[in-house]
């Protein structure tokens, strides 16, 4: 039996987060259902492990899982892509038995802010988080050490708003949403950049938490591992259906806005 790292994508609004929760539809539950349907293996022999946990509403373009199987991986991914609901299996790499997907060298997240009053200032304030800090005030505590290093935060103009890209070896629970919430508080005038600095120095300051629907796990990196692309022909039809549905929804709301304004 061989061990593989598999790259997956999914829209967060279709799931109650990534981890299995009894009675709720989750990414892990869908993945296990997909894999068991095709491989006929039980969950124990598949030994599926995820790189990163994502909360309800958070999407992924490049989350990574590890699995064990005797099936040819290209055949396996072709089959699951033809049958899966809302999970796209986009790449693969053979790895050693000791591969742990949690031990990534870097993770990149993207947060889209559709509108803000001062994108340039927001980008400048975002860089306050770069470097080693204690992020205790910018996470949901779960027992893990809160001192870590954020490698970079980049801000790119996007229409009336901005796209923030965060990169670090790992992030704490709710950390990006809380950092972004602090930046939005500043943009709204309810907080100042000095409040971020004081919170990073340990002062007990509370900030808002940004909406999960605008957060995407973009990429997870591992030293020495290059992912081969899965055959895209098996999910092109599904992508077209998703694009058509999104276009129809956008058309409806644009028409509604026009109706309201006339």
Residue 19 to residues 43, 54, 156, 221, 250, Cα–Cα distance (Å): 14, 8, 31, 20, 30
Rounded distance between C-alpha atoms, residue 251 and residue 242, angstroms: 14
Question: Contact at 8 Å (CB) between 70 and 35?
Answer: no
Rounded distance between C-alpha atoms, residue 115 and residue 36, angstroms: 43
Q: Indicate the Cα dihedral angle 149, 152, 157, 158, nearest 10°.
A: -60
Residue 173: exposure state from Cβ atoms within 10 A (0-12, 13-18, ≥19): middle
Rounded distance between C-alpha atoms, residue 262 and residue 225, angstroms: 56
Q: Is residue 55 annotated as a catalytic residue, yes or no?
A: yes
Q: Which is the catalytic residue, given 47, 55, 211, 231?
A: 55
Other C-beta atoms closer than 10 Å to the C-beta of 145 total: 9
DSSP 26: -
Question: Contact at 8 Å (CB) between 154 and 199?
Answer: no
Question: Would you please indicate which residues are annotated as catalytic (active-site) residues?
Answer: 55
């Amino acid at each position: 039996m061989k061990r593989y790292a598999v790259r997956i994508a999914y829209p967060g609004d279709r799931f109650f987060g990534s981890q299995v929760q009894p009675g709720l539809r989750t990414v892990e539950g869908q993945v296990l259902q997909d894999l068991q349907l095709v491989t006929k293996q039980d969950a124990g022999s598949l030994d599926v492990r995820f790189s990163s946990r994502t909360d309800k509403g958070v999407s992924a373009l490049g989350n990574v899982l590890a699995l064990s199987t005797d099936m040819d991986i290209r055949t396996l991914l072709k089959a699951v892509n033809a049958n899966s609901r809302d999970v796209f299996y986009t790449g693969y790499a053979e790895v050693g038995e000791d591969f742990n997907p949690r031990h990534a060298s870097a993770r990149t997240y993207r947060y889209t802010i559709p509108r803000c009053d001062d994108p340039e200032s927001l980008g400048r304030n975002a860089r306050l988080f770069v470097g080693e800090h204690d992020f205790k005030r910018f996470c949901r505590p779960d027992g893990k050490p809160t001192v870590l290093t954020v490698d970079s935060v980049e801000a790119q103009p996007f229409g009336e708003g901005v796209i923030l890209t965060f990169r670090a070896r790992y992030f704490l629970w709710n950390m990006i949403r809380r950092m972004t919430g602090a930046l939005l508080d500043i943009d709204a005038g309810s907080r100042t950049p000095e409040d971020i600095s004081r919170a990073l120095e340990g002062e007990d300051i509370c900030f808002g938490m940004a909406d999960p629907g605008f957060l995407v796990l973009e990429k997870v990196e591992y030293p020495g591992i290059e992912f081969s692309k899965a055959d895209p022909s098996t999910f092109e039809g599904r992508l077209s259906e998703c694009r058509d549905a999104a276009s129809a929804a956008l058309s409806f709301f644009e028409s509604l806005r026009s109706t309201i304004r006339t």
